[in-house]
Structure 1
């Protein structure tokens, strides 16, 4: 799942798109999806084959793109009046509705499928109260912790509050030997995620009434505590120069006591460090009340041709059939965004914490046009809290958010 939200280029006019269905009752659908890993393309190739075998009048043309390229590919297609009929993307996908390019979410799946989807994920990408995307994969964040380091440091249970987190992280860092208590990635890869986890844990929100709200008392309190974690030696050195992926690898190597992670990390640990003694707990917050960061990717349907709407819904209903959908999430290592899929995933104990955190998850305001530049400002500036006042850093990020319009 991509956690970086693209800033889309100028969009084309509503009604543009790929060739319409032919007059003989046959329909051709263009499907564009991102590549998560090695299993992505084979999964879609087989799903399309199985669907076409049951729907001989519908031809699905599959295109896969890397996350690095897909935003540019989509914008280019729209500008050339070749928008795909079905697109999977992050919350930048539903944002195309601002140019009247999309069907509503309840128009691209059946009522039964729509009711099966976890409401929090649909609500997170609404535009002016209307949903235009149906979630494909979902992810929340949770605290991964090293049970061996906990034992060595005399820690009986994972922390629930910031104060407990600071105390426990300092105990682990005191073990020495290149071990650090808490991994805090504030580098350019995903600083907006780490910051959001802390800020949401203090009651902050990045948007109100369509305006970016970055410089707030709650966010200041969160960044001030993050700075305290750094200055008191509870984190790895120089968090502002540390990206998420390499830091997670350090955790997998057994050198970090605690770090925020997402569901695919479970599979990485099993593959790279099967002997690591680890567990997952809810993200610590200021007062221990549950809240965490949620992220989802979405299917959207472009309203290129009204004759294709029923076929789009038929294909997406097929994707969301329990067997097909659970296999998709199993392949990619995420948690399902449907209630029936979550029931199936509940049999996997390592996903329990992620599933339980869904109702309390808060999301990026990714459908707001200003979020792209705001997210970039977090990536470039928030790491400076080690040497600057958190209040000054937030003011700089707010200024960039305001400048984006």
Structure 2
């Protein structure tokens, strides 16, 4: 089966991609790799489709004779869509999904070390890379990490002189010099 790893970005830039999956071959000998990715945008303006199209075109430019067909689904439904494709015998060659452990356990995935160079693997944050393991073998390739919720202790912030949690992308929201040291 052609389903490979979760986390396309690390794989899409790796030389090993050309050998992966069951990419379909047309009558002209051209191979088309089928990629399914998660969309983290909330509108057409910031859809992940634009990003993946750019990645696909760059990959094609570097690898003549290879085409990349990208389908992007909302992150809330991408796992279900891939499961349906696999069930229907239309597994993608590469999938950016979270629910890959069952596929790994069934022997339907390539191991990361079969797809990626050692320097590429060494570049992963180890705690995130370990999250892609099944029975101590890495199948999932890190792509993104995020914090859905972040909590803070208002009393400690007050004692530190911080008036509120800083907005995303800023480094500090401290009150002027009237703040007291935390002790």
TM-score with structure 2 length normalisation?
0.67
- TM-superposed CA distance for 1:146, in Å, is 7.0
Q: Select 2:39's aligned residue among 35, 38, 50.
A: 35
Residues 18 and 80 of structure 1: CA distance in aligned 2, closer, same or farther (over 3 Å): farther
The 3 A distance-change label for structure 1 pair 80 and 39 is closer
1:97 is matched with: 104
Partner-residue secondary structure (3-state), 2:142: strand
Distance 2:2 2:60 in 1: 26
In structure 2, the CA distance between the partners of 1:68 and 1:139, relative to structure 1 (3 Å rule), is: closer
| 1:99–1:18 Cα change, 3 Å | same
CA 1:139–1:68: 2 relative to 1, 3 Å:
closer
1:40, distance to aligned residue in structure 2 (A): 1.4
Give the whole-Å Cα distance in 2 for the aligned partners of 1:125 and 1:40.
Answer: 22
1:154-233 equivalences under 5 Å are 155-156=159-160
Tell me which of 131, 135, 141 is aligned to 2:138. 131
The gaps in structure 2 that reach 5 residues or longer are 4-20, 175-183
Distance of aligned partners of 1:127 and 1:21 in 2 relative to their CA distance in 1, 3 Å threshold:
same
Give the alignment partner of residue 168 of structure 2, picking from 266, 285, 295.
266
Deviation of 1:145 after TM superposition, in Å, equals 6.7
Of 269, 277, 287, the match for 2:173: 277
* TM-aligned CA deviation for residue 21 of structure 1: 3.4
Q: What displacement does 1:127 show?
A: 1.2
1:115 to 109, 122, 131: 122
Q: CA deviation at 1:106?
A: 1.3
Matched residue count: 150
Contact 1:41 1:64 survives alignment (8 Å): yes
Structure number with larger C-alpha Rg? 1
Q: State whether structure 2 residue 103 is matched by structure 1 residue 88.
A: no
- Larger fraction in helix: 1
Q: Deviations over 1:226-277 (max 9, x none)?
A: xxxxxxxxxxxxxxxxxxxxxxxxxxxx9xx67xxxxxx725xx7xxxxx93
1:44 aligned counterpart, secondary structure: helix
Shift of 1:139: 3.0
Change (3 A) 1:100 1:145: same
CA distance in 2, matches of 1:87, 1:53: 21
Question: RMSD between aligned alpha carbons?
Answer: 3.3
Change (3 A) 1:18 1:106: closer
Gaps of 5+ in 1: 1-13, 159-253, 259-264, 271-275, 279-405
In 2, Cα distance between equivalents of 1:81 and 1:59 = 20
